Structure 1
Amino acid sequence: MKTIAIAAAAAASLIATAASAQQATTPQNPGPQIPGVCVYHNARLFAQSSVGQAVETRMQQLAQEVQTELQPYATALQTEAQQLQTSGSTLQPDELNRRRQALQQRAQEAQQLEATRENELRYTLAMQRQAITEAVSPILVQVYQERGCGLMLDRESVFMMNPAHDVTDLVIQRLNTALPTLSFNRMAVPAQQQQQPAAAN
């Protein structure tokens, strides 16, 4: 079962780019501040805001719940496969074939359930990110206007800069007030979105 690895990677993606950016060396002379230029780091907002951290924690909990749900299936399939391997030579060909087919069917059902849960975790994370993005958008507009920004750049695209251009801390502070947390459970993927991959092939 690979669900936990995938879910953990999804949650970790909230902070991966932010962690690498934080390791960048700051020059001793950052250069002049350019009027009207602002820089915003979205990945750091997801990693350091209270709501971003709440989403990460909750996604880890949901991943653990999925692991708990799926583990009995994996254990039962492994046990049945071992029993079939041990007693296969004593079974009649028809019985051996029947049990092999039944085991294969149960394995396919378990894989289908696992895939469903993986998609639900991905969809749930995407919906929480969307909620955070919707909450931060008016804050960005407000900060843009207050700071007199003529240009707001994505921190991921800026190699070095004068730290005075960075408005991320201010945006995080205001998001922490506007949306301190999110409460959610694992969400089912809407039927129309489940059909999209098939339609694309």
Structure 2
Amino acid sequence: MKILAIGALALTSLLATTALPSAATAQTAGPVNQGPAIPGVCVYFNQRLLAQSTVGASVQARMEQLATEVQGELAPYGTSITNEYQRIQAGGPTVTDADRQALQTRVQEAQLLEQTRENELRYTLSEQRRLISAAVEPLLVTVYQERGCGILIDRESVFILNPAMDVTDAVIERLNTALPSLSFNRLPVPVQQPAQ
């Protein structure tokens, strides 16, 4: 019986996009000759900013705390349901259909609560990322102009590059000053209004 699976798997999936790039995607043994830095071509790696900036680290740490709180909230439901299920299994002929229906209702309620909390965690993380993006955008524009960029390419689209073209460190440094951290709690997901 799958009950309350918001544990480590959900936390991992929520925070996976803020983790450092894996060894498979990171440049480990780049070319000896990196080629020239192409004037006007700049590269930015948002995932590295989220992983290495102080605000990114604070969001990740807080999301881990919130996920732990949710696990603590949901754990008693799982224990109670498991105990009730075992009681029904051992009860034999004394167990009524009402007992089985009550257990089924409790399982459905627990699953609904679990889904609600998971959605709240996802929404909370997306809102924090939105705030970080809002803070990064003007910093990125400033660095773009200072470096004389004619084009800014997403690092995920580039396999190998001359590090002199990467503006990520400059943006992280400025973000650490402008927005060192965020304080937040789990947010309820807004109710979607029906389309008219």
TM class by shorter chain equals over 0.9
Partner of 2:101: 101
Aligned amino acid, residue 186 of structure 2:
R
**CA distance in 2 between partners of 1:16 and 1:50 (Å):** 14
Q: Which runs of 5+ in 1 are unaligned?
A: none
Distance 1:21 1:3 in 2: 28
Contact map agreement 2:6 2:118 (CA 8 A) in 1: yes
Alignment of 1:60-139 (within 5 A): 60-89=64-93, 91=94, 96-139=96-139
- Residue of structure 1 in register with 2:5 after alignment: 2
Q: CA–CA distance in 2 between the matches of 1:68 and 1:31?
A: 53
Unaligned runs of 5+ in 2: none
How far 1:7 moved relative to its partner?
Answer: 2.5
Distance apart, 1:17 and its partner CA: 3.8
Q: Give per-residue Cα distances to partners, 1:149-172, cap 9 Å, x unaligned.
A: 001100000011111000100000
How many Å separate the matches in 1 of 2:159 and 2:13?
A: 26
Deviation at 1:15, TM superposition (A): 1.6
SS in 1 for 2:96: helix
Structural mapping, 1:50-69, within 5 Å: 50-69=54-73
Q: How much does 1:16 deviate? A: 4.9
> 1: CA distance between counterparts of 2:55 and 2:23?
17
TM superposition score normalised by structure 2: 0.93
Please report how far the alpha carbon of residue 87 of structure 1 lies from its aligned counterpart in structure 2 after TM superposition: 1.0
2:183 corresponds in structure 1 to 183
Q: Which amino acid aligns with 2:10?
A: I
1:47 aligns with 2:51: yes
SS of alignment partner, residue 3 of structure 1: coil
> What letter corresponds to residue 67 of structure 1 in structure 2?
Q
What's the counterpart of residue 156 of structure 1? 156
Conserved 8 A contact 1:135-1:175: yes
Name the SS of the counterpart of 1:183 in structure 2: coil
Residue 154 of structure 1 aligns with an amino acid whose one-letter code is D
Q: Percent identity?
A: 58
1:34 aligns with 2:18: no
Q: Count matched residues.
A: 191
Which amino acid is the alignment partner of residue 132 of structure 2?
Answer: I
More helix by share: 1
The amino acid across from 1:186 in the alignment is R
| TM-score normalised to structure 1 length | 0.90
Q: Given that residues 46 and 53 in structure 1 are in contact (C-alpha distance below 8 angstroms), is that contact kept between their aligned partners in structure 2?
A: yes
Q: CA RMSD in A?
A: 1.6
Secondary structure in 2 matching 1:28 = coil
Distance 1:17 1:159, change over 3 A: same
